[in-house]
Chains A and B, each alone.
Chain A
Amino acid sequence: MGRRRNLPIVALAMAVIAVQLLTAAAGKPQYLTQLTMAGYYSLVIVGLTLLMGYTGQISLGHAGFFAIGGYTSGLLTTYNLHPLIGQIPVSILQACGLLVSGKDLYGADLLVVRPWAACVVALLVTIGIAYLVGKPVLKLKGHYLAMATLGFGTIVYKVVLGSSLVGAADGISDIPAFPLFAGLVVTGKSALRAQNYYVAWGLVLGAMALLTNLIRSRVGRALRAIHGAEDAANAMGVDTGRYKLQMFVLSAALAALGGVFLTHYNGGIGPSEASVMKSVRYVAIVAVGGMANLWGALFMGVLLNFLSLRGSFGSYDDAVFGLILLAIMLFAPDGLLRAEFARRLPGLRRGQKAAP
């Protein structure tokens, strides 16, 4: 039973390997760069699928969580603490081995937070913010929840765009590589391309294993019940408020994880990662993937992000995702990969659509 359940995960792992071998054989290793980035974006997308598709709670603020993760880690690993040496907080951090010294481009002394410590802080900060935002906001439903999360996303965007601490419109650059373990390093160096591809997709595999098991558990059944009829689920004894908050925080943490890794991979992050259009893009991909369909969302996410990163949509990038969202809502509100399923259940479509 257990082996059978994890079959799709094994299949994905084999597909990941096959794609790498294929790009090597075809002499197109540069594709791995976009596939690596698409992998990190997939973390946001599968988390959002759990929240939107299964729990039925929309968020138009997930680019905000991605950016909070990326910016926190980026800032901590570039902010020079060297002038502050000797001050007590810095000494404590140094004593704990959380800081690392080096030289910047011009040979000046640099003292910054170690990437793994920055990553942990970034995740904790995101979880804290997601909790504080989610607690009041998830009491809202439907359009009101969409608008409130949109408000949150807009705040994050405007804050990073307006703060000189994080480089305002330029964002943060020269973000160091992120050494993991056993010699693995998250970096954009082309020599380490294949290695980084496997790091990204290892994370995606881990996230998929976690989420597919979660939705098959009793928790997953409760989540689908919340989506189907929230008050009835509540009256059945399901603590709907707690579940919604947990899934909101979990999906935000996954978004932040993607943000942290992509930021170190790219060596920089800019305010466009926090923009509302990015959030709309994530929602569009979840919708086109089939709403309550982790595999569909993963597949469509990789496909569309890959095309977008390759520049296939030209300067119409955001417009393409807007168009996809519009078309899905009009013609297949349950998602492209579930349209057939929905056709067989005409009576259901209205009800399922009510809270996207």
Chain B
Amino acid sequence: MLRIRSLEAGYGNLKVLRRVSIHVSPGEIVTIIGANGAGKTTLLLTIAGLLRAQVGEILFDKQDIGRHAPETIALLGCALVPEGRQLFAPMTVRENLQLGAYVQIRRGRAHEVESDLGRVFDLFPRLRERASQLAGTLSGGEQQMLAIARALMARPKLIMMDEPSMGLAPLVVKDIFGIIRRLGSEGHTVLLVEQNAKAALRIANRGYVLENGRILLEENAEDLLANRDVQRAYLGRDLDSETELDGKRR
């Protein structure tokens, strides 16, 4: 699905990513964990085309998308749930979702949008109740759900999520991770970037550790959870207290 080789990218003269290589197979949930400033968001923005890849290649569905414009990458089936949600605040929930389906209309599948809207509302009943409400008036958790739902409306082959738990109450975080797990079990392919490493590793199949713009480790999610260095650096000491997700594992 997605294969990145020796990717280097950043902002102007500031190089953030150094020789990053990752891959995501169809149906997998892959997470990238790392501290603040490790380059997680930069990586997703570069895949989405919002930042330019300086060196290396990004193969999506066997096509090199490293030089493609963001709108082309979206059309190919790569959806982004951006950091901080980035909803269209002065537009209604329904309009936000319709905008998510923008590429479907460009693909000539406008007739599918209505039924997709129903499917997404089934997945997030709360959004159906608030369909005519302005996105900016939703609670944080609802906004995050809308951001995910908006990405689903594009019928993506790959969904990239940037810190979906950011700024949310622990109970809401649990809901959001439950949704991501459900997307995975329904066959969606997810690339998840998270600071909340423990919760992310519990729902993921595989994980990468990104530090200072380099990939340090790549392992199965369970092995990473058990890895002592990872525990010390990213999981904190309350590893065994099982406060999140009630200890559920895939």
Contact = CB atoms under 8 A, between A and B. Distances in A.
A347 B150 CA distance: 21
B137 A236 contact: no
Given A229-B88, A348-B89, A352-B90, A238 B99 contact: yes
B95 interface: yes
B89 A236 contact: no
Interface string A206-241: 000000000000100110110111011111111111
A233 B90 contact: no
Q: What range describes how many residues of B lie at the interface?
A: 20 to 34
A222 B88 CA distance: 10
Contacts of A237: 70-71, 74-75, 102-103, 106, 154
Nearest to B160: A235
B199 interface: no
A25 B235 CA distance: 82
Contacts of B79: 235-236
A245 B100 CA distance: 22
A348 B91 CA distance: 11
A345 interface: yes
A27 interface: no
Interface in B142-161: 150, 154
B69 to A, nearest CB: 7
B79 to A, nearest CB: 8
Contacts of B90: 224, 227-228, 292, 348, 352
Contact of A235 (B50, B88, B136): B50
Interface of A: 218, 221-222, 224-225, 227-229, 231-241, 292, 345, 347-348, 351-352
8 closest A-B pairs (Cβ-Cβ)? A237-B74, A228-B88, A232-B86, A237-B103, A229-B86, A234-B70, A235-B80, A348-B136
11 contacts: A221-B95, A221-B98, A224-B91, A225-B99, A229-B82, A236-B102, A237-B70, A237-B103, A237-B106, A347-B137, A348-B134
